Amino acid sequence: DGGITQSPKYLFRKEGQNVTLSCEQNLNHDAMYWYRQDPGQGLRLIYYSQIVNDFQKGDIAEGYSVSREKKESFPLTVTSAQKNPTAFYLCASSVPGLAGFGAQYNEQFFGPGTRLTVL
């Protein structure tokens, strides 16, 4: 089955430690995204990547880093510089498409999320 996997589902870390969240997709999608969600809030964009070896900062990139060495993988590292890292992290992917070829190509598929708690 095609889809997006995120691991682990729950993650606990001590304050000051870096932690890497995994995101893998086998949908052959070019674009991948990381969002953060705090309780009762909408999603906020951290980083996104339109193609391998390329990525751009989103609205709240400070304290985070990413890499995109393979099409299937887009790991997110939460560094010790992130002041309030406890949150629900969501990864997504999509097929970039030309306008006119169908909006379905811009649909984003989301993983199940990782809930990070920093103690």
Partner 1 sequence: DAKTTQPPSMDCAEGRAANLPCNHSTISGNEYVYWYRQIHSQGPQYIIHGLKNNETNEMASLIITEDRKSSTLILPHATLRDTAVYYCIVRVLSNSGYALNFGKGTSLLVTP
Binding site for partner 1 (CB under 8 A): 4, 30-33, 35, 40-45, 48-50, 58, 88, 90, 92, 94, 96-100, 103-104, 106-113, 115
For 63, left (φ over 0), alpha (ψ -120 to 50), or beta? left
Quickly tell me which residue has 């339109």 as its tokens.
Answer: 50
Cβ closest to partner 1, residue 8 vs residue 112: 112
Cβ closest to partner 1, residue 15 vs residue 54: 54
Beta carbon of residue 41, minimum distance to partner 1 (angstroms, whole number):
6
The Cα angle at residue 10 between residues 23 and 20, in degrees rounded to 5: 45
Cβ closest to partner 1, residue 82 vs residue 94: 94
45 neighbors 37 (Cβ within 8 angstroms): no
Alpha-carbon distance 83 to 15, whole Å? 9
Beta carbon of residue 114, minimum distance to partner 1 (angstroms, whole number):
10
